[in-house]
With several copies, the nearest count.
Chain A
Amino acid sequence: MPTEAPPVPVLKSGPAQELSANPTYLEAVGAALDHEMERDPDVFILGEDVGQFGGAFKVTKGFLDKYGPRRVVDTPIAETGFTGLAAGASLVGLRPVVEFQFADFISCAFDPIINVLARHHWRTGDPMPVTMRAPFGGRLRAGPTHSQSVESYFAHVPGLKIVMPGTPEDAAGLLISSIRDDNPTLYLENKYLYRRLRATGPLSMEPIPLGVAKVVHEGRDVTLITYSAGVHQGVEIAQELAKEGISVEVVDVRTLVPLDVETIVNSVRKTSRAVVLHEAAKRLGYGAEIAATIQEEAFWHLDHPIVRIAAKNTPTATSPPLEDAIIPQPAEIAETLRKVARE
């Protein structure tokens, strides 16, 4: 029974954060969130330390000043509770954006995500527009419970969308679409990229549709299907391999659910060889779904088994030599692509 919201004062005009000329991945997330909160008074953000502190990674820095504590809500450490709160608020017309401080802690909200958010629309027909943002991934020497890739925990479950941008441009456009989407959406931010990846110019605030993959590097010999940090890695390696005469097509799936099977399969039909890359552990990582799907859809075009490059089936270690041995490294990726392209 949503009713009309009263006009919501914005306490401070102008952007919550000043953007640099080539905004970082981190700035892109913040700017898109700011854009949506300014545009739609029903959008609010909640999570641990998102207020005065601006979030553990500073995505919401300046938001409290601009929007006030009504729309920038510091919660107790209660992931089950505040995720369920978001579900309830969305049910009666708000558009909550939940920040998990680290994606690792989303495990504490697994139950409401699976059983309340994902299933609600199918059970009842009511929309449940909740966006869940979580910084994930390794390479920061943060160890087994601060480095997790969590997409596989959720990709099996019908009713969630899963968004994993690999560039600042996509981070902005896909977050906007996630917030406007009427479904619960898991939006996973690669925290290693936050300050390391910059946009090529000013950011557009145009929504980018969910479920549309992008060929980010064209090639003929082998298709590399990837997402998130795999995208810039993949493109860099493709550029290197081009010098050796190996032509790699890099497909950024951008959203895992829905998955743009057509773009993937079209590319594989062209190259006849496919490698899937992600930072999550290999066993039942999303690469398994992509590989299984490709061989279903393009089996007779394949000149080589599909290869999955992924983290080892171990937790993520803290110590650099150990973590580097677990998470796929550029040399391994390049070598695999060479092998698959040439074999």
Chain B
Amino acid sequence: MSKDKKATGDSLEGRDPELLRRIYEVMVLTRAVEDRMVAMYRGGDLLGSLYTGHWHEAISVGAASCLRPDDYLAPIHRDLGAHLWRGMEPWQVMASFMGKATSPTGGRDGTLHYGRLDLGIYNLPSHIPANFPVATGMAFAAKYRGEDKVCLAFCGDGSTSRADFHESLTIASVQKLPNVFVIENNQYAYSTPVRLTSHSDTFSAKAAAYGIPGVTVDGTDVLAVRDAVDEAVTRARAGDGPSIVEGVTMRMHGHAEHDPADYVVKELFEEYSKKDPVELFENVLRKAGLLDDDTARKVRDEARQSAIAARRKALADPMPEPGNIEEGVYAD
């Protein structure tokens, strides 16, 4: 699958060093929280399975970093980085995978269903990509009210074959809605390789069906993702309608942690093991003199400590009481 844009990062001129460091920190935190959660899964802390976003950090954080706080976000299951960027607490995420009373849904929903509307994040059901039509609605509301907000939505390569993808893209393009649709092409949909999901040259090539811009970037290169999404966000904010950005990466774990992923072509794992997006970005920052050993160590340590503290809190948090279980089916 060709990449329209090459990895950037040779020069960081004109970029805000604060912002770059913040992106780095959230990427590191994302990785630390997920590594911790993998251990928690293995140790039996979690209720069910665990979906992780290893090697998706550049896409989730890079894309989310293009938003204003008042923009809307409609992430999918490998986008912890986007949640953390917006202020989701790691312990809340863990609490969700544990069914704790303190999870954003109070234990009613669980696993990856922890989106918080107070952070402008839609909490999607399991059906993929149900977040896409909802994202068009959030964008529609912004346009309806004359606000210049945008809505950023993510889905996987496998999700592109569904009704929700096509009907949302159709509506968003016809209505020129301020949407940005990011496709996380991680080579597989559960066990299904991309060639059994789609016959188009790239996933961004599907943009032609909607008469909108589509671009494919190296999804392990956070600055490449950021630049492409930034352009799309700017376009959407200006009232010029939606775009597709495809980030190519690899799902380095199983579909979820129960899955050994033994169906994956070995070469892919090997190829991508050299392309850890967190490491890649760390090297870029180092080369540009924006990060030294000490700071890097500090950032990683702090992230690890956050993850440990989050686990401690989530473990200690209570399970919900069933008392009110029939309440809240309807809003009054």
Q: Mark B86-121, 1 if CB is under 8 A from A, else 0.
A: 000000000000011100110111110101011010
A76 within 8 A of B: yes
From A83-91, A224-232, A236-244, give the one contacting chain B.
A83-91
B168 within 8 A of A: yes
A144 touches B47 (CB 8 A): no
| Chain B nearest Cβ from A69, distance in angstroms | 9
A158 touches B329 (CB 8 A): yes
Given A87-B137, A92-B72, A143-B109, also A77-B189 (CB < 8 A): yes
A332 within 8 A of B: no
Given A88-B138, A318-B107, A320-B99, also A124-B117 (CB < 8 A): yes
A74 within 8 A of B: yes
B164 touches A76 (CB 8 A): no
A144 touches B134 (CB 8 A): no
B108 touches A144 (CB 8 A): yes
**Which residues of chain B are near A86, meaning CB under 8 Å?**
137
Alpha-carbon separation in the docked complex, A18 to B139 (Å): 34
A49 within 8 A of B: yes
A48 interface neighbour in B127, B168, B192, B322, Cβ under 8 Å: B192
Q: Which partner residue on chain A sits nearest B171 by CB separation?
A: A81
Given A77-B197, A84-B132, also A1-B70 (CB < 8 A): yes
Q: Which partner residue on chain A sits nearest B332 by CB separation?
A: A182
A319 interface neighbour in B127, B164, B168, B320, Cβ under 8 Å: B320
- Which residues 157-182 of B sit at the A interface, judged by CB distance below 8 A? 158-159, 161-164, 166-168, 170-171, 174-175
Alpha-carbon separation in the docked complex, A342 to B262 (Å): 57
| Chain A nearest Cβ from B161, distance in angstroms | 4
**Which residues of chain A are near B159, meaning CB under 8 Å?**
77
B105 touches A124 (CB 8 A): yes
A261 within 8 A of B: no
Alpha-carbon separation in the docked complex, A85 to B173 (Å): 13
B145 within 8 A of A: yes
B126 within 8 A of A: yes
A321 interface neighbour in B138, B192, B322, Cβ under 8 Å: B322
Alpha-carbon separation in the docked complex, A104 to B125 (Å): 11
A89 touches B126 (CB 8 A): no
Alpha-carbon separation in the docked complex, A207 to B3 (Å): 54
B279 within 8 A of A: no
B330 touches A183 (CB 8 A): yes
A142 touches B48 (CB 8 A): yes
A319 touches B130 (CB 8 A): no
A84 touches B134 (CB 8 A): yes
**Which residues of chain B are near A73, meaning CB under 8 Å?**
175
B202 within 8 A of A: no
**Which residues of chain A are near B145, meaning CB under 8 Å?**
3, 5-6
**Which residues of chain A are near B128, meaning CB under 8 Å?**
77
Alpha-carbon separation in the docked complex, A143 to B103 (Å): 13
A143 touches B263 (CB 8 A): no
How many residues of A are counted as interface, with CB atoms below 8 angstroms from the partner's CB atoms?
81
A312 within 8 A of B: yes
Given A87-B137, A89-B141, A182-B332, also A325-B322 (CB < 8 A): yes
B326 touches A52 (CB 8 A): no
| Chain A nearest Cβ from B80, distance in angstroms | 18
A298 within 8 A of B: no
| Chain B nearest Cβ from A161, distance in angstroms | 7
B105 touches A76 (CB 8 A): no
- Which residues 126-144 of A sit at the B interface, judged by CB distance below 8 A? 126-129, 140-144
Alpha-carbon separation in the docked complex, A122 to B16 (Å): 42
B198 within 8 A of A: yes
Alpha-carbon separation in the docked complex, A123 to B145 (Å): 27
- Which residues 276-331 of B sit at the A interface, judged by CB distance below 8 A? 319-322, 325-326, 328-331
**Which residues of chain B are near A268, meaning CB under 8 Å?**
none
A82 within 8 A of B: yes
B328 touches A122 (CB 8 A): yes
A302 within 8 A of B: no
Q: Mark A163-187, 1 if CB is under 8 A from B, else 0.
A: 0000000000000000000110000
B191 within 8 A of A: yes
**What are 30 sample pairs from A and B whose C-beta atoms fall under 8 A apart?**
A1-B118, A3-B70, A75-B171, A77-B192, A78-B171, A81-B170, A83-B133, A84-B130, A84-B137, A85-B140, A88-B139, A89-B137, A89-B144, A94-B144, A105-B127, A107-B127, A108-B163, A112-B164, A116-B134, A122-B108, A123-B113, A124-B105, A124-B115, A143-B111, A145-B113, A159-B329, A182-B331, A313-B326, A319-B320, A321-B107
Which 5 A-B pairs rank lowest in CB-CB distance, beginning with the nearest?
Answer: A84-B133, A88-B137, A81-B167, A318-B110, A319-B107
Q: Which residues of A contact B (CB under 8 A)?
A: 1, 3, 5-6, 44, 48-49, 51-53, 56, 70-71, 73-94, 96, 102, 104-105, 107-108, 111-112, 115-116, 119-129, 140-146, 158-159, 161, 182-183, 312-315, 317-322, 324-326
